[in-house]
């Protein structure tokens, strides 16, 4: 388990380092600050994501996931998506993960037993993972369609006014359906977790 994680980590760090060196250039005019911050965020995020799948105790996995989600929200802010970043903290890190923690505490789950998997599952999973990753990198480096570049974003991008305009005009049907979905989920969760349907 640990060996798999470490191997994955080393491969990923080397690749991300290569990416930064190729694209970053030697730019000393303060523009590199954005790249440095990104590199820091990215490596922390990868470390905590690995913490999710590597930790034996489910509570520590959950906490690693909270850290990942929070770092992701920070990255959203740097991507000019302020509202989505706040929603990420409120909804994901502040509510969904609290639900996870509650369930873990309710079921009183301490450390997992050492995984009793059939032999070869881990190797297979590592192989599939590497395949995913290399495939994704290939398509990133050689995109199928034209990738228009963009230097700056229009003013007010990512603010709540623009998101609301999009949400309530072009995505109105999806919005209404999602609200019904949430209602169904609430009723379903309460019924499923009840002890007796009396």
Q: Which of residues 122-141 bind other proteins (CB under 8 A)?
A: 122, 124-126, 128-129, 132-133, 136-137, 140-141
How many CA atoms, within 13 angstroms, populate the side-chain half-sphere of residue 110?
1
In sequence order, which residues have a C-beta less than 8 Å from that of residue 42 and are 6 or more positions away? 16
Nearer to other proteins, 106 or 198 (CB): 106
- Does position 74 interact with other proteins (CB under 8 A)? The reply is no
Note the maximum CA span of the chain: 70
d(CA 197, CA 195): 7
Sign of CA dihedral 140, 147, 170, 91: positive
- Does position 7 interact with other proteins (CB under 8 A)? The reply is no
Least Å from the CB of residue 131 to other proteins? 9
- Does position 172 interact with other proteins (CB under 8 A)? The reply is no
- Does position 197 interact with other proteins (CB under 8 A)? The reply is no
Binding to other proteins (CB under 8 A) within 80-119 occurs at 80-84, 86-96, 98-107, 109, 112-113, 115-117
Q: At what angle do helices 121-141 and 2-24 cross, to 10 degrees?
A: 10
Least Å from the CB of residue 114 to other proteins? 10
Least Å from the CB of residue 46 to other proteins? 6
d(CA 52, CA 72): 15
How many residues does the structure list for the chain?
198
Tokens of 174: 């999806």
Least Å from the CB of residue 198 to other proteins? 15
- Does position 16 interact with other proteins (CB under 8 A)? The reply is yes
Binding to other proteins (CB under 8 A) within 22-51 occurs at 23, 27, 30-31, 34-35, 38, 42, 45-46, 49-50
- Does position 151 interact with other proteins (CB under 8 A)? The reply is yes
């Amino acid at each position: 388990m640990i060996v798999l994680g470490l191997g994955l980590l080393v491969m990923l760090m080397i690749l991300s380092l290569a990416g930064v060196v190729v694209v970053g250039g030697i730019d000393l005019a303060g523009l590199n600050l954005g790249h440095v911050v990104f590199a820091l965020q990215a490596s922390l995020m990868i470390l905590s994501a690995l913490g999710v799948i590597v930790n034996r105790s489910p509570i520590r996995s959950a906490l690693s996931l909270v850290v990942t989600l929070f770092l992701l929200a920070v990255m959203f802010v740097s991507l000019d998506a302020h509202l989505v970043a706040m929603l990420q903290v409120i909804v994901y890190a502040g509510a969904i993960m609290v639900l996870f923690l509650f369930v873990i505490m309710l079921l009183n789950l301490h450390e997992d037993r050492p995984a009793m998997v059939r032999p070869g599952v881990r190797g297979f999973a590592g192989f599939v993972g590497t395949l995913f990753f290399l495939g994704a990198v290939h398509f990133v480096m050689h995109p199928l369609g034209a990738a228009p570049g963009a230097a700056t974003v229009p003013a007010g991008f990512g603010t709540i006014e623009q998101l609301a305009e999009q949400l309530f005009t072009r995505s109105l049907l999806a919005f209404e359906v999602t609200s019904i979905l949430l209602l169904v989920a609430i009723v379903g969760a309460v019924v499923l977790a009840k002890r007796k349907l009396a």
